[in-house]
Amino acid sequence: MQSHVRSSDMTDLAAPPVATARFGIGEVVRHRLLDFRGVIFDVDPVFANSEEWYQAIPLEIRPSKDQPFYHLLAENGDGSYVAYVSQQNLVVDDEDEPVDHPAIDNLFDGFSPGRYTLRPQHRH
Q: pTM (2 decimals)?
A: 0.82
Give residue-wise pLDDT tens across range 32-79: 999 999 999 999 999 999 999 999 999 999 999 999 999 999 999 999
Q: Tell me, what amino acid is at 22?
A: R
CA 51 to chain centre: 18
- DSSP H or E segment with residue 51: helix 51-55
Residue 16's pLDDT is 60
CA–CA dist 117, 5 (Å, integer) = 47
Tell me whether strands 69-76 and 28-31 are parallel, antiparallel or unpaired: unpaired
Q: How far is CA 23 from CA 5, 7, 28, 70, 81, in A?
A: 38, 34, 9, 9, 19
pLDDT digits over 78-106, tens only? 999 999 999 999 999 999 899 999 999 99
In angstroms, the CA 17 to CA 61 distance is 23
- Give the Cα separation of 115 and 35 in Å (integer): 19
Q: Which one-letter DSSP state was computed for residue 18?
A: -
Backbone angles phi, psi at 90, to 5 degrees: -115, 145
Question: Among the CATH numbers 3.30.1320.10, 2.30.30.390, 3.40.50.1820, 3.40.50.620, which is that of 17-119?
Answer: 2.30.30.390
* Domain edges within the chain: 17-119
What is residue 120's predicted lDDT score, i.e. its pLDDT? Answer: 85
